[in-house]
Structure 1
Amino acid sequence: MEGVTLRRSARAKYLRLVVKPELVELVVPAGVSERQAKSFLEQHRTWLETQRREMEKRVGQRPVPVRFTEHPTIPWQGRDLPLKIEDIPGKRLKVAVDDSVRISIPSFAGDQRDAWARHAFKEWARRWLRGQVQRSVERHAPKHGLQPREIRIKAMKTRWGSCGPSNDININWLLALAPESVLEYVVVHELCHIRERNHSPRFWALVADHLPRWQGERRWLKTHGLGLLKRFP
């Protein structure tokens, strides 16, 4: 299966193709032979080629990674805010966000100025996002007893969130840059995986019980998500 990575999964119930910027993956449930997998791939070859072309087109239009010292704006909660960077004496890094994003870095940073600003913003955003996620969990978890064991804010290259086998919830720090409603959707999505470890109709019904308009937030991620992932590698 040239150009397609085969991954066997004990949790998968159906054969499915996953198209990502860096690979195409065929997920194969236990008990499905390689011959059956190849047959499935051939049946979906036209669909796969269409998806590949779309992915190449989207990746080709990806934004340039942000250089904090050169870019006039930065995304925050779904809006592009003015970005202001100032050099200050001492060693302390400071970030403040209201109607603009202001980052203060030591004047001795020199040619590391951009790296220092990026690090300061990322760490501040992660701390801020943890509080937002915790509040969202507190709003939604009691309704169906969907209590995570732990919440982690992480850098994730291709995913917005995940729910581990021990009910640990991982959330991509870049969701600090997305609208608040999109963050809430991802949190609810992962909480619902505590009950339903799949994307069955029962799973989506559970999501809808928390967020009746979840489809709009999912569409936002499909439209704008890749841009955020590529802008902040």
Structure 2
Amino acid sequence: MPFPDSETVKLPTPRGALAPAVAIPVRWRASTRARRVSLMVCPRSGTVVVTLPPRSGRRAGLALIREHETWIRERLAALSPAVEFAPDTELLLGGEAHVIRHEPRARGGAFLDGKAIVVTGAREFLRRRVTDFLRVEARRRIGVLTLPHAAALGVKPRAIRVKDTRSRWGSCAPDGTLAFSWRLVMAPEWVTDYVVAHEVAHLRELNHSPRFWALVAELTPHRDGAVEWLRVEGPALLRVG
């Protein structure tokens, strides 16, 4: 019998445990390439994603969830609070706090006004307009940072794209296309500068050899600090929107 792509699963409290019963959102993902049942906690949605290989069903997935109940509880508890795009919500832009200000009678879509992101029009369009604004702003800021780094190495990216990636802040394809998470727009500029420098360096060295890291060091002094910032603060960016 088929089962839904997603559902809420209630985990029973183990006998003698002090932890309360918990209901967790689960997304079932069928995969012809998977060789075994596996699970992960999506840091963006706070959902437990269970991958099922052929001939494995919901029962096998539930068994794995219950086997790793403690781990799942810990991972979910460690997630940063979700931040929704709504009037008066505060979010980072370039590492600095900005507030969403809804002005339904104004025009202009979404734009910056000092430390406010002004969003015009009906309330139901606010989330999309804030997201579109952040993506455009990310593309603009990343483009500004990319040009001098590319010029310094004598390279030119084939294209620059922004995406909503889950596991990578940036990437460089073999054809020279650079891709970045739009969520970098929320990070301090020096953090984004490191990610951009890292990917631009791949246009010369598509590897992580000593020559590659020497190029990165030529382009930016922020490697260690940026890596640490993204390790500590990065997961919270995935919970925004």
TM-score > 0.5 by shorter chain: yes
Structure 1 match to 2:56: none
Q: Distance in 2 between matches of 1:202 and 1:69?
A: 46
CA gap 1:56/1:184 in 2 versus in 1, 3 angstroms:
farther
Residue of 199, 207, 213 corresponding to 2:216: 207
Report the alpha carbon displacement of residue 197 of structure 1 after superposing the two structures with TM. Answer: 1.8
Q: Distance in 1 between matches of 2:167 and 2:88?
A: 24
Structure 1 match to 2:227: 218
Report the alpha carbon displacement of residue 144 of structure 1 after superposing the two structures with TM. Answer: 1.6
Q: Deviations over 1:150-188 (max 9, x none)?
A: 111112122111101100000111111110111111111
RMSD: 3.0
Residue of 101, 116, 119 corresponding to 1:103: 119
The TM-score, its normalising length taken from structure 2, stands at 0.65
Contact 2:98 2:117 in 1 (8 A): yes
Q: Secondary structure at the match of 1:151?
A: strand
Contact 1:74 1:101 in 2 (8 A): no
Q: Unaligned 5+ residue runs, structure 1?
A: 6-18, 24-52
Identity %: 31
Report the alpha carbon displacement of residue 64 of structure 1 after superposing the two structures with TM. Answer: 3.0
Q: Distance in 2 between matches of 1:221 and 1:60?
A: 19
CA gap 1:20/1:82 in 2 versus in 1, 3 angstroms:
closer
Contact 1:93 1:120 in 2 (8 A): yes
Q: Distance in 1 between matches of 2:187 and 2:106?
A: 33
Report the alpha carbon displacement of residue 2 of structure 1 after superposing the two structures with TM. Answer: 6.4
Contact 1:62 1:231 in 2 (8 A): no
CA gap 1:192/1:104 in 2 versus in 1, 3 angstroms:
same
User: How many pairs align?
Assistant: 183
CA gap 1:162/1:2 in 2 versus in 1, 3 angstroms:
same
Q: Distance in 1 between matches of 2:112 and 2:98?
A: 12
Letter in 2 for 1:229: L
Moved over 6 A (4+): 1-5
Q: Secondary structure at the match of 1:128?
A: helix
- Where does 1:152-167 land on structure 2 (aligned, <5 Å)? 152-167=161-176
Q: Deviations over 1:80-108 (max 9, x none)?
A: 22222222278x623324222221222xx
Q: Distance in 2 between matches of 1:205 and 1:98?
A: 38
Q: Deviations over 1:115-158 (max 9, x none)?
A: x2121111112222222222212211122223111111112122
The TM-score, its normalising length taken from structure 1, stands at 0.67
Residue of 94, 98, 112 corresponding to 1:81: 98
Q: Distance in 2 between matches of 1:93 and 1:213?
A: 35
Report the alpha carbon displacement of residue 226 of structure 1 after superposing the two structures with TM. Answer: 0.9
Q: Distance in 2 between matches of 1:82 and 1:172?
A: 21
Residue of 83, 86, 89 corresponding to 1:72: 89
Q: Distance in 2 between matches of 1:56 and 1:186?
A: 32
Q: Distance in 1 between matches of 2:198 and 2:173?
A: 13
Residue of 128, 137, 142 corresponding to 1:133: 142
Report the alpha carbon displacement of residue 65 of structure 1 after superposing the two structures with TM. Answer: 2.6
Contact 1:154 1:171 in 2 (8 A): yes
Is 62-71 or 156-165 further displaced after alignment?
62-71
Report the alpha carbon displacement of residue 61 of structure 1 after superposing the two structures with TM. Answer: 2.5
CA gap 1:126/1:142 in 2 versus in 1, 3 angstroms:
same
Residue of 74, 77, 80 corresponding to 1:60: 77
